[in-house]
Amino acid sequence: MSDTMNPKPILTCALTGAGDTVGRSEHVPVTPEQIAAAAVEAAEAGASVVHIHVRDPETGAPSRDSALYREVVDRIRQTGVDIVINLTAGMGGDLVIGQEDPLEFEEGTDLVNGLDRLPHVEELLPDICTLDCGSLNFGDGSQVYISTPDMLRAGARRIQELGVRPELEIFDTGQLWFAKTMHAEGLIDDPSLFQLCTGIPYGAPSDPGVLQSMVNLLPEGAQWASFSIGRKQMPWVAQSVLLGGHARVGLEDNLYLSRGVKATNGQLTEKAVNIIEQLGARVATPDETRAMLGLRRAA
Protein backbone atom coordinates (compact mmCIF):
# COMPACT_ATOMS: atom_id res chain seq x y z
CA MET A 1 0.00 0.00 0.00
CA SER A 2 2.80 2.44 0.80
CA ASP A 3 3.96 2.42 -2.81
CA THR A 4 0.57 3.47 -4.16
CA MET A 5 -0.67 5.82 -1.42
CA ASN A 6 -1.49 9.30 -2.66
CA PRO A 7 0.72 11.73 -0.69
CA LYS A 8 -1.35 14.79 -1.64
CA PRO A 9 -5.01 13.85 -2.18
CA ILE A 10 -7.71 16.27 -3.27
CA LEU A 11 -10.54 16.37 -0.71
CA THR A 12 -14.03 17.21 -1.94
CA CYS A 13 -16.90 18.13 0.36
CA ALA A 14 -20.34 17.37 -1.18
CA LEU A 15 -22.48 19.89 0.64
CA THR A 16 -26.16 18.97 0.26
CA GLY A 17 -26.97 16.61 -2.64
CA ALA A 18 -30.46 15.92 -3.97
CA GLY A 19 -31.55 13.20 -1.56
CA ASP A 20 -34.45 13.32 0.87
CA THR A 21 -32.22 14.31 3.78
CA VAL A 22 -33.47 17.75 4.80
CA GLY A 23 -35.93 16.35 7.32
CA ARG A 24 -33.36 13.97 8.75
CA SER A 25 -30.77 16.54 9.80
CA GLU A 26 -30.99 20.22 10.65
CA HIS A 27 -27.45 20.64 9.33
CA VAL A 28 -28.30 19.92 5.67
CA PRO A 29 -28.09 23.30 3.90
CA VAL A 30 -31.12 24.31 1.85
CA THR A 31 -31.07 28.00 0.92
CA PRO A 32 -28.35 29.56 -1.26
CA GLU A 33 -27.11 31.43 1.81
CA GLN A 34 -26.85 28.20 3.81
CA ILE A 35 -25.16 26.29 0.97
CA ALA A 36 -22.61 29.07 0.43
CA ALA A 37 -21.93 29.20 4.18
CA ALA A 38 -21.41 25.44 4.17
CA ALA A 39 -18.91 25.84 1.32
CA VAL A 40 -16.94 28.39 3.31
CA GLU A 41 -17.09 26.16 6.40
CA ALA A 42 -15.73 23.21 4.39
CA ALA A 43 -12.98 25.34 2.84
CA GLU A 44 -11.88 26.62 6.24
CA ALA A 45 -11.85 23.02 7.54
CA GLY A 46 -9.42 22.04 4.80
CA ALA A 47 -11.44 20.93 1.75
CA SER A 48 -9.88 21.41 -1.67
CA VAL A 49 -13.19 21.32 -3.61
CA VAL A 50 -16.88 21.84 -2.84
CA HIS A 51 -19.47 19.89 -4.81
CA ILE A 52 -22.73 21.81 -5.08
CA HIS A 53 -26.38 20.94 -5.65
CA VAL A 54 -29.16 23.47 -5.01
CA ARG A 55 -32.58 23.06 -3.42
CA ASP A 56 -35.87 24.91 -3.50
CA PRO A 57 -35.52 27.30 -0.54
CA GLU A 58 -39.19 26.84 0.39
CA THR A 59 -39.51 23.06 0.21
CA GLY A 60 -35.95 21.70 0.35
CA ALA A 61 -36.63 19.69 -2.81
CA PRO A 62 -33.80 19.33 -5.35
CA SER A 63 -33.75 22.00 -8.06
CA ARG A 64 -32.21 22.80 -11.44
CA ASP A 65 -32.86 26.56 -11.14
CA SER A 66 -29.87 28.43 -12.57
CA ALA A 67 -30.67 31.48 -10.45
CA LEU A 68 -30.12 29.42 -7.29
CA TYR A 69 -26.76 28.18 -8.57
CA ARG A 70 -25.82 31.75 -9.49
CA GLU A 71 -26.63 33.01 -5.99
CA VAL A 72 -24.63 30.23 -4.32
CA VAL A 73 -21.56 30.77 -6.53
CA ASP A 74 -21.76 34.57 -6.20
CA ARG A 75 -21.99 34.33 -2.42
CA ILE A 76 -18.96 32.00 -2.25
CA ARG A 77 -16.89 34.21 -4.52
CA GLN A 78 -17.85 37.36 -2.62
CA THR A 79 -16.34 35.94 0.56
CA GLY A 80 -12.93 35.70 -1.09
CA VAL A 81 -12.45 32.15 0.22
CA ASP A 82 -10.20 30.06 -2.03
CA ILE A 83 -12.01 26.85 -3.02
CA VAL A 84 -12.45 24.90 -6.26
CA ILE A 85 -16.11 24.89 -7.32
CA ASN A 86 -17.72 21.72 -8.67
CA LEU A 87 -21.36 22.05 -9.79
CA THR A 88 -23.55 19.04 -10.37
CA ALA A 89 -24.91 18.59 -13.88
CA GLY A 90 -26.68 15.38 -12.97
CA MET A 91 -30.13 16.84 -12.29
CA GLY A 92 -32.78 16.15 -14.92
CA GLY A 93 -32.24 12.41 -15.21
CA ASP A 94 -34.94 11.09 -12.86
CA LEU A 95 -37.62 8.81 -14.28
CA VAL A 96 -40.24 7.15 -12.07
CA ILE A 97 -41.99 4.36 -13.96
CA GLY A 98 -45.75 4.04 -13.46
CA GLN A 99 -46.95 0.92 -11.66
CA GLU A 100 -50.15 0.44 -13.63
CA ASP A 101 -48.95 1.86 -16.95
CA PRO A 102 -45.18 2.04 -17.44
CA LEU A 103 -45.69 4.87 -19.95
CA GLU A 104 -47.44 7.01 -17.33
CA PHE A 105 -44.53 8.46 -15.39
CA GLU A 106 -45.13 9.15 -11.73
CA GLU A 107 -44.40 12.01 -9.33
CA GLY A 108 -40.68 12.60 -8.96
CA THR A 109 -39.95 12.37 -12.68
CA ASP A 110 -37.65 15.14 -13.89
CA LEU A 111 -36.25 14.07 -17.24
CA VAL A 112 -34.60 16.39 -19.77
CA ASN A 113 -31.99 15.86 -22.48
CA GLY A 114 -28.26 16.08 -21.90
CA LEU A 115 -27.86 19.69 -23.02
CA ASP A 116 -30.79 20.91 -20.92
CA ARG A 117 -28.90 19.73 -17.83
CA LEU A 118 -26.18 22.33 -18.47
CA PRO A 119 -27.61 25.92 -18.51
CA HIS A 120 -26.08 26.79 -15.12
CA VAL A 121 -22.72 25.40 -16.25
CA GLU A 122 -22.86 27.46 -19.44
CA GLU A 123 -23.64 30.62 -17.46
CA LEU A 124 -21.32 30.22 -14.48
CA LEU A 125 -18.37 28.29 -15.98
CA PRO A 126 -17.38 26.50 -12.77
CA ASP A 127 -14.01 24.84 -12.40
CA ILE A 128 -15.62 21.38 -12.58
CA CYS A 129 -19.05 19.95 -13.36
CA THR A 130 -20.23 16.38 -13.03
CA LEU A 131 -21.24 14.03 -15.84
CA ASP A 132 -23.12 10.93 -14.64
CA CYS A 133 -21.91 8.29 -17.06
CA GLY A 134 -24.84 5.92 -17.44
CA SER A 135 -28.33 4.84 -16.46
CA LEU A 136 -29.02 3.09 -13.17
CA ASN A 137 -31.82 1.44 -11.19
CA PHE A 138 -31.79 3.93 -8.35
CA GLY A 139 -32.70 2.09 -5.18
CA ASP A 140 -35.78 -0.05 -4.64
CA GLY A 141 -39.04 0.81 -6.33
CA SER A 142 -39.42 2.18 -9.84
CA GLN A 143 -37.00 5.11 -10.06
CA VAL A 144 -34.40 4.98 -12.82
CA TYR A 145 -31.63 7.49 -13.46
CA ILE A 146 -31.40 8.04 -17.21
CA SER A 147 -28.20 9.04 -18.98
CA THR A 148 -27.94 7.46 -22.41
CA PRO A 149 -24.87 7.32 -24.66
CA ASP A 150 -26.39 9.97 -26.96
CA MET A 151 -27.08 12.28 -24.01
CA LEU A 152 -23.61 11.74 -22.61
CA ARG A 153 -21.78 12.39 -25.86
CA ALA A 154 -23.77 15.60 -26.39
CA GLY A 155 -23.12 16.72 -22.82
CA ALA A 156 -19.43 15.85 -22.89
CA ARG A 157 -18.96 17.73 -26.17
CA ARG A 158 -20.64 20.86 -24.77
CA ILE A 159 -18.69 20.74 -21.50
CA GLN A 160 -15.48 20.40 -23.52
CA GLU A 161 -16.43 23.46 -25.63
CA LEU A 162 -16.98 25.46 -22.42
CA GLY A 163 -13.53 24.61 -21.08
CA VAL A 164 -14.95 23.12 -17.89
CA ARG A 165 -13.38 19.96 -16.45
CA PRO A 166 -15.94 17.13 -16.28
CA GLU A 167 -15.90 14.90 -13.24
CA LEU A 168 -17.01 11.55 -14.64
CA GLU A 169 -19.40 10.02 -12.11
CA ILE A 170 -19.08 6.23 -12.27
CA PHE A 171 -21.68 4.12 -10.45
CA ASP A 172 -20.84 0.76 -12.02
CA THR A 173 -18.30 -0.92 -14.28
CA GLY A 174 -20.36 -0.53 -17.45
CA GLN A 175 -20.41 3.21 -16.87
CA LEU A 176 -16.63 3.15 -16.54
CA TRP A 177 -16.43 1.30 -19.85
CA PHE A 178 -18.48 4.00 -21.58
CA ALA A 179 -16.57 6.87 -19.95
CA LYS A 180 -13.36 5.32 -21.25
CA THR A 181 -14.99 5.12 -24.68
CA MET A 182 -15.73 8.86 -24.61
CA HIS A 183 -12.15 9.50 -23.52
CA ALA A 184 -10.84 7.41 -26.43
CA GLU A 185 -13.14 9.31 -28.81
CA GLY A 186 -11.57 12.62 -27.71
CA LEU A 187 -14.66 13.92 -25.91
CA ILE A 188 -12.86 13.96 -22.54
CA ASP A 189 -9.65 15.98 -22.29
CA ASP A 190 -6.65 15.00 -20.21
CA PRO A 191 -6.15 14.96 -17.34
CA SER A 192 -9.39 12.99 -17.11
CA LEU A 193 -11.12 13.00 -13.74
CA PHE A 194 -13.13 10.00 -12.53
CA GLN A 195 -15.29 9.78 -9.41
CA LEU A 196 -15.90 6.14 -8.46
CA CYS A 197 -19.19 6.15 -6.54
CA THR A 198 -19.82 3.10 -4.33
CA GLY A 199 -22.56 1.94 -2.02
CA ILE A 200 -25.48 3.52 -3.90
CA PRO A 201 -28.18 0.89 -4.56
CA TYR A 202 -27.90 -0.64 -7.09
CA GLY A 203 -24.56 0.33 -8.52
CA ALA A 204 -21.08 -0.69 -7.45
CA PRO A 205 -21.03 -2.06 -3.88
CA SER A 206 -18.71 -0.68 -1.20
CA ASP A 207 -16.19 -3.47 -1.61
CA PRO A 208 -12.42 -2.88 -1.69
CA GLY A 209 -12.00 -5.54 -4.36
CA VAL A 210 -14.56 -3.86 -6.61
CA LEU A 211 -12.84 -0.50 -6.10
CA GLN A 212 -9.45 -1.99 -6.96
CA SER A 213 -10.85 -3.58 -10.11
CA MET A 214 -12.29 -0.24 -11.27
CA VAL A 215 -9.02 1.54 -10.52
CA ASN A 216 -7.24 -1.09 -12.63
CA LEU A 217 -9.50 -0.21 -15.57
CA LEU A 218 -8.88 3.56 -15.54
CA PRO A 219 -7.14 5.20 -18.51
CA GLU A 220 -3.43 5.80 -18.07
CA GLY A 221 -2.75 9.08 -16.30
CA ALA A 222 -6.32 9.54 -15.06
CA GLN A 223 -7.00 11.41 -11.85
CA TRP A 224 -9.56 9.61 -9.71
CA ALA A 225 -11.43 9.76 -6.45
CA SER A 226 -13.89 7.46 -4.76
CA PHE A 227 -16.44 7.65 -1.99
CA SER A 228 -18.96 5.54 -0.15
CA ILE A 229 -22.09 6.50 1.72
CA GLY A 230 -23.35 6.30 5.29
CA ARG A 231 -21.12 4.72 7.89
CA LYS A 232 -18.55 3.70 5.28
CA GLN A 233 -17.80 7.30 4.30
CA MET A 234 -14.78 7.75 6.56
CA PRO A 235 -13.24 4.29 6.05
CA TRP A 236 -13.50 4.99 2.33
CA VAL A 237 -11.39 8.13 2.71
CA ALA A 238 -8.52 5.93 3.86
CA GLN A 239 -9.35 3.22 1.30
CA SER A 240 -9.21 5.71 -1.56
CA VAL A 241 -6.02 7.45 -0.48
CA LEU A 242 -4.22 4.15 0.14
CA LEU A 243 -5.02 3.04 -3.41
CA GLY A 244 -3.59 6.27 -4.83
CA GLY A 245 -6.80 8.26 -5.24
CA HIS A 246 -8.55 11.36 -3.96
CA ALA A 247 -11.43 11.43 -1.45
CA ARG A 248 -14.89 12.87 -0.86
CA VAL A 249 -17.02 13.45 2.23
CA GLY A 250 -20.01 15.66 3.04
CA LEU A 251 -23.69 15.66 3.97
CA GLU A 252 -24.73 14.56 0.48
CA ASP A 253 -23.41 11.10 1.32
CA ASN A 254 -23.56 10.79 5.12
CA LEU A 255 -25.30 12.68 7.93
CA TYR A 256 -23.36 11.41 10.96
CA LEU A 257 -20.03 12.22 12.56
CA SER A 258 -20.27 9.12 14.75
CA ARG A 259 -23.03 6.81 15.89
CA GLY A 260 -26.05 8.96 16.76
CA VAL A 261 -24.14 12.25 16.38
CA LYS A 262 -25.26 14.39 13.46
CA ALA A 263 -22.49 16.20 11.60
CA THR A 264 -21.92 19.45 9.79
CA ASN A 265 -19.98 19.63 6.55
CA GLY A 266 -17.12 21.29 8.40
CA GLN A 267 -16.93 18.50 10.97
CA LEU A 268 -16.91 15.79 8.28
CA THR A 269 -14.17 17.66 6.44
CA GLU A 270 -12.09 18.02 9.62
CA LYS A 271 -12.42 14.30 10.34
CA ALA A 272 -11.35 13.40 6.80
CA VAL A 273 -8.37 15.75 6.98
CA ASN A 274 -7.30 14.06 10.21
CA ILE A 275 -7.57 10.59 8.64
CA ILE A 276 -5.48 11.68 5.67
CA GLU A 277 -2.84 13.24 7.89
CA GLN A 278 -2.74 10.14 10.12
CA LEU A 279 -1.89 8.15 7.00
CA GLY A 280 1.12 10.42 6.45
CA ALA A 281 -0.42 12.34 3.55
CA ARG A 282 -1.52 15.98 3.20
CA VAL A 283 -4.67 17.40 1.60
CA ALA A 284 -4.02 19.33 -1.61
CA THR A 285 -4.63 23.08 -1.49
CA PRO A 286 -7.03 24.60 -4.02
CA ASP A 287 -4.11 25.88 -6.11
CA GLU A 288 -2.43 22.45 -6.04
CA THR A 289 -5.78 20.97 -7.08
CA ARG A 290 -5.99 23.36 -10.03
CA ALA A 291 -2.49 22.36 -11.11
CA MET A 292 -3.26 18.61 -10.87
CA LEU A 293 -6.51 18.92 -12.81
CA GLY A 294 -5.40 21.52 -15.33
CA LEU A 295 -7.97 24.08 -14.16
CA ARG A 296 -8.04 27.82 -14.58
CA ARG A 297 -6.62 29.75 -11.65
CA ALA A 298 -9.10 31.56 -9.41
CA ALA A 299 -9.90 35.09 -10.55
Question: What is the distance between the alpha carbons of residues 278 and 67, in angstroms, rounded to a whole number?
Answer: 41
pLDDT tens column, 94-133: 999 999 999 999 999 999 999 999 999 999 999 999 999 9
Amino acid at 2: S
Taking CA atoms, 81 is separated from 14, 50, 133, 276, in Å, by 17, 12, 31, 22
pLDDT at 76 over 50: yes
Average pLDDT, the chain: 96
Mean pLDDT of 57-65: 97
Nearest to 19 by CA among 255, 238, 215, 261: 255
CA 186 – CA 115 distance, rounded (Å): 18
* Radius of gyration in angstroms for the set of CA atoms belonging to the chain, rounded to a whole number: 18
Rounded CA separation 251/66 (Å): 22
Residue 3 has pLDDT above 90, yes or no: no
What does the pLDDT look like over 133-171, one tens digit per residue? 999 999 999 999 999 999 999 999 999 999 999 999 999
Domain positions in the chain are: 11-90+165-293
Q: What is the pLDDT of residues 228-264, one digit of tens each?
A: 999 999 999 999 999 999 999 999 999 999 999 999 9
Range 11-90+165-293 has CATH code 3.20.20.70? yes
Question: 2 pLDDT exceeds 80?
Answer: no
pLDDT tens per residue across span 184-198: 999 999 999 999 999
